[in-house]
Amino acid sequence: MPLLLAALTATGPLGIDMYLPAIPQMAADFGTHEGAIMFSLMTFFFGLMAGQLVYGPLSDKFGRRPLIFIGMSIFVLGSIGCAQAPSLPALHAWRLLQGLGGSIGMVIAFAIIKDLFAGPAMGKMMSLVLAVLGLAPVLAPLVGNGLMAIDSWRLIFWALAVWGVLLALAIAVLLPESRSPEARAGFSLARIPQTYLSILRDRRFIPFAATLVVAQAGFFAYIAGSSTVFIRHYGLSPTAFSILFAVNAIGIVVAAIVNPKLHAAWGVQRTYRRANTAYAVVMLATLALFAAGVSHIAVLCAGLFLSVAMLGLIMPTGSQLAMAQQGPVAGTASALMGSLQFGAGAIISAMAGVLVASNAIALVQIMALCATVSAVMAWTLFPSKTQA
């Protein structure tokens, strides 16, 4: 199950990471600048945000499996459209549709985990899924770079379409329905707006989810701006960038493996607070070195590796804390959390695309700001009673 849920969750990240090394080539093919291509990342994020708001409550009402097949069909259609896009506006439109389909993975995977597990078992499963999911940013840029060597960037989107088809077939055979008939019958679609509002007011949800949204915004800035920073400003080749991106992503895998042990030693809430604090310390130290003129690529790589590793702790722990008390509306809560994350991702990726194009330090500044705000939130917004 961790393998299958991670593969499902990886659909969105693959749509993000696999084409990052191709951004310079895509800009050349469309006769534009890299910032215009990165706008397609923003439209993809908007698709991820909007899709989750719809899929979550519908999966609570009609079950997880039917929504998976609908979402994957839309993802495959969007991927084929991107592969054949004749112009930049067409690419942006198809990326929006691709994001709408790809959003199904994240919202459904966390809802399935909440359907089947509780307490430490839920935290362990989330960490296992993230550990496997961590292979996506490790492998995706390398695969994308290899596909470009065979043909062009368009082959990347054909490969994503094939991924969607194969994954849907695997789910049809291997993944049973996790939402009980009783739970589906008890969920009212007419109450969706009220349900969303009640979740937003829930002190057991919003402090943990909001902190996660801000922390992960720094991660989205890294995803959006890293190719420009390393390829344009530091002169790396797309292949070298793909390898570097993969090495940084290993930190997520290691952190996800360690995460359950930290939960057992410190408690879940304390682990979350300390991981956010360490994330801020790392990024502020990196920013201080850059401000002092120490901007060697090794400094940036070290700062990014450590910060991404901290996010490997923050993401599953924040999700576990936010979802712990949302059992009856797990799909809706997961959708709301995901839409908040990717709404922030859309905004931050647009900012990173504009600012990083002219100045490499802008990436460090954006990530340091997100990390600092998330650490402050972790120390001021969490309930006084520690969540185990």
Smallest Cα–Cα separation from 76: which of 159, 3, 148, 133? 159
- What is the rounded CA–CA span in Å between residue 34 and residue 302? 25
Q: Structure pTM? A: 0.77
pLDDT of residue 134: 67
Q: Which amino acid is at 37?
A: I
pLDDT of residue 378: 95
- Contact 317/275 with Cβ under 8 angstroms? yes
- What is the rounded CA–CA span in Å between residue 375 and residue 378? 5
SS3 content of the chain, % helix, strand, coil (to 5): 85, 0, 15
How is residue 72 written in tokens? Answer: 């994957």
Name the residue ranges covered by the structural domains of the chain: 2-173+202-380
Q: Per-residue confidence of the chain (388 residues) as pLDDT tens digits?
A: 778 888 898 898 899 889 888 888 898 999 988 778 888 888 998 898 888 888 888 888 888 899 999 999 999 999 999 999 999 999 999 999 999 999 888 778 878 888 888 778 887 787 777 766 667 777 888 899 899 989 889 999 999 999 999 999 999 999 888 888 888 887 778 888 888 888 888 888 999 999 999 999 998 888 888 888 888 889 888 888 888 888 887 888 788 788 889 999 999 999 999 999 999 999 999 999 999 999 899 999 999 999 999 998 998 899 889 888 776 777 778 778 888 888 888 788 878 877 887 788 899 999 999 999 999 999 999 887 665 5
Q: Which amino acid is at 278?
A: A
Which CATH superfamily groups domain 2-173+202-380?
A: MFS general substrate transporter like domains (1.20.1250.20)
- What is the rounded CA–CA span in Å between residue 129 and residue 152? 31
pLDDT of residue 208: 94
pLDDT of residue 241: 86
How is residue 110 written in tokens? Answer: 């966390």
- What is the rounded CA–CA span in Å between residue 340 and residue 323? 14
Place of tokens 């809560």: 333
